[in-house]
A and B are shown apart, each in its own frame.
Chain A
Amino acid sequence: MSSPMNLDDVLQTFIAESQELLLLMEDALLQIEQAPDDTDTINALFRVAHTIKGSAGLFGLTPIVAFTHVAESVLDRVRGNELRVDESLSALFLEVRDHLCTLIELLASHGDLHGMTAEHEQQGAALVERLNRYLDNRHEPQTSLVQIEPPQLACATRWHLSLRLCPDALRNGMDPLSLLRYLNSFGKISAVVCITEGLPDIAAMDPETCYLGFELGFVSDAGQATIEGAFDFVREGSQICVLPCDVDLTGLRALIGRLEAEPDAMVEAFIACGSVTREQWLAGSSSGAPTTVAAASVVPDLAARDDVTKNRGAKEPRSAEGNLIRVDAGKLDQLINLVGELIIAGAGANLGAIQSGIGELIEATSSLSRLVEEVRDCALTLRMVQIGGTFNRFQRVVRDVSKELGKDIALQVLGAETELDKTVVERIGDPLTHLVRNAMDHGIEAAQLRRERGKPEQGTVRLNAYHEANSIVIEVSDDGGGLNKQRILAKAIERGLVAEGQPLADGEILNLIFEPGFSTADQVSNLSGRGVGMDVVKRNIVALRGSVSLESEEGVGTTVRIRLPLTLAIIDGFLIGVGNASYVVPLDLVEECIELSSDDYGNQEFLDLRGAVLPVLRLREMFAIDGANPGRENVVVVHYAGMRVGLVVDQLLGEFQTVIKPLGKIFGTAHGLGGFTILGSGAVALILDIPKLLGQVASQQKHGTTLSPELTQ
């Protein structure tokens, strides 16, 4: 085959593909619970099992092949309408899928299946046994099917089927025999002629290659699309022709032309199949002088019809896949890093041009930077993925958890097409899982209580995503009992998080549940309620430069709103200058900028902002920057998590879109810093981590009355 190195690469592709397919399978299984007779979904399921089996066979992964084969056989029966998908079968297949997932993960981590333990094997064997129960009585219904066929055939039509399977059919796991069997499930093969002219000498024959062709007479009441659908899995590389047998012989003639076969032998085959009688053929051909012309005109027609069926229904996902390219995420990151450098270099060129004062140069660099910006936007969209994939994972979570809790809960997904950065998507999964579980466990009430409150018995958890300004908002809401503010407050006082009698706004009380070690659940379930969770959720989200807020009305429901930046690589910043250094404040936190009037000059800790008290933070003092104050200072009002603080700075340098350079290990724990960035001039600017900075100030204020003495002296 290929060198071991290449095989390794291919194995990675197989793993990635299988994981995708298994996700697809999960979706299909969850769908099929709602609509058990949807043939598209059943076909999709069969395709997944079939593809995995086939690909696993290429790698000699016998355990996967053997296991999937049984699953495929059961699905084949479902496809043949011999079995109906019920709840127990779909549940069984979910387990089958999970088992396959385990095996694939094992493969991904070890590179082979030697890591399989007895436990895995037992699990697999148990599932196979349960699957086999659906196969055991296989022969009975088949015979009964044949028995009920004749009456059906009354209204059936005769078809002529011509199959030239692609040489790789056997290697792909398609046995022609099973195709013929499948055909028999919705019709009757009246005659078979096996075309052996493709067979080479026995010495040159490769036993794994399919050399055989078939001409079939087929009687069925199924439509052309159904019959053609039987060959969906072998269509690639094969020549398949489904023709109705009527007096018109042009179809058959075209077939001979298309297959470039010996006409006499073909005609014999047609006659043997009963698709045409010798008399009909002779009568037809004597009048058919322009046969070849007709054939030529019919061929494209047939081909076009092939295309039409291809694009319909079951084939759709594949054609969509054709437009996608699988790219290593590392390469994308590299591209985005380079684009980041390009932006910095472009800003430098711009600056130089402006300083040089040459009009043409300024024009050239400004059109260049416009292009660079477009390139950046394009590059960033490469990393964007729809959040729907993440959301749909929760169908399973909701299904499993609601069964476990004995509550009837539906998941409603909105805004699945909203796009955001892949790294964000990857890291949002865990917090979301937590929130969804929380909503189901604590939010949604038991059915009894819901009835009493006049709500529908089925609870709803809603996941919603939408874009707002330069961020994405994800909402997890439920129509459950809501949060009990009194209980939260009581618990907070009990835990010493709040002093008794301290007045708190509703929002502040709700935010208490994000404090570490806080749980109001009276009972600890194995899902949630241990009080580790909401603080972790908040920490995870803040680590993504996002924020989380909560809305709740008692008896009506709770909504948790997560706000995240669209990407982690680039920040919209506001550039400020203090001393010789430049700092960047995330633009979405900046509320307004005001000039510090001479009246306010001095060492006051508060400003009067249109009648409201605004605490100020003098960056010059906080950062211990030497040098005299410039004549005039400015205040940048930043707003975060309900806190509003004025940062006193020397200069306002304006908006600035920039690439974030990570802090690195040395500065990793530095308070108040979020990263570095490089300015157009080549100087390094510091990105301020406003949430941490404000948190620091708040904790200092808690311990002293105001800022700590060394900062205010």
Chain B
Amino acid sequence: MDAAVLSHPQQAPQRACDGQFLQFLTFVSAREVYAIDTLCVREIIEYGQVTSVPMMPDFIRGVINLRGSVVPVIDLQARFGKGATLQSNRTCVVILELIQEDESHVLGIVVDSVSEVIEIELADIKAAPAIGNRIREDFIRGMVKIRGAFLTVLQLDQVLCVREIASQLH
């Protein structure tokens, strides 16, 4: 873990001897800041030509051509039940690679904008309060306070549970 990747090293949590630090990517979706583990992020691309797939739940934006392979794209805001992401010049697709049920799935999520990569000590991630969450409880891995503001660490395996999504197509 290189301190140089931290945008605000002076405010980053101090390295504890027994603490474990992980890198997280933060991004904005529907004016909320979320963080996801960088280990599953493959790349970040500009929002481009998305082919919509008919008869799909509205959070499935469609598919894109990522250098010859077809990758499904999920609208995170719609997945959280907050309506479709409006396209702006900062809209991005974060390409993720998830291992679920021993299979690797590559898919993209549409977000309003990507912010930075930060280091978070695992012990700092606190459980989310039982009430007052704006998204489904099982989507949240925990809350973490960075620079005085709370951000939500996402449980990607739940948010993008391939089995659950596929079952919604009935």
Contact = CB atoms under 8 A, between A and B. Distances in A.
A685 B51 contact: yes
Contacts of B162: 665-666
Nearest to B72: A666
Contact of B169 (A344, A625, A667): A667
B166 A669 contact: yes
Contacts of B69: 661
A666 B107 contact: yes
Contacts of B65: 678, 682-684
Given A664-B72, A666-B105, A666-B166, A676 B55 contact: no
Nearest to B50: A684
Interface stretch (B8-16, B38-46, B56-64, B139-147): B56-64
Given A676-B70, A678-B68, A684 B166 contact: no
Interface string A653-683: 0000000010011111111110010100011
Contact of A667 (B53, B64, B170): B53
Interface string B24-43: 00000000000000000000
A684 B64 contact: yes
Interface string A135-163: 00000000000000000000000000000
Contacts of B18: none
Interface in A607-665: 622-625, 661, 664-665
A665 B107 CA distance: 11
Nearest to A696: B55
B52 A664 contact: no
B70 A666 contact: no
A246 interface: no
B54 interface: yes
A591 interface: no
Interface size class of B (residues with CB under 8 A): 20 to 34
Contacts of A671: 55, 169
Contacts of A686: 51, 53-54
A523 B49 CA distance: 60
Nearest to A661: B70
Interface string A669-709: 11111001010001111100000000000000000000000
Contacts of B2: none
A672 B55 CA distance: 9
Contacts of B128: none
Nearest to A344: B68
B68 A670 contact: no
7 contacts: A581-B51, A624-B55, A661-B69, A678-B70, A683-B51, A686-B51, A686-B53
Interface of A: 341, 344, 581, 622-625, 661, 664-673, 676, 678, 682-686
Given A683-B51, A684-B64, 9 more contacts: A581-B52, A665-B163, A666-B166, A667-B166, A672-B54, A678-B65, A684-B63, A686-B51, A686-B54
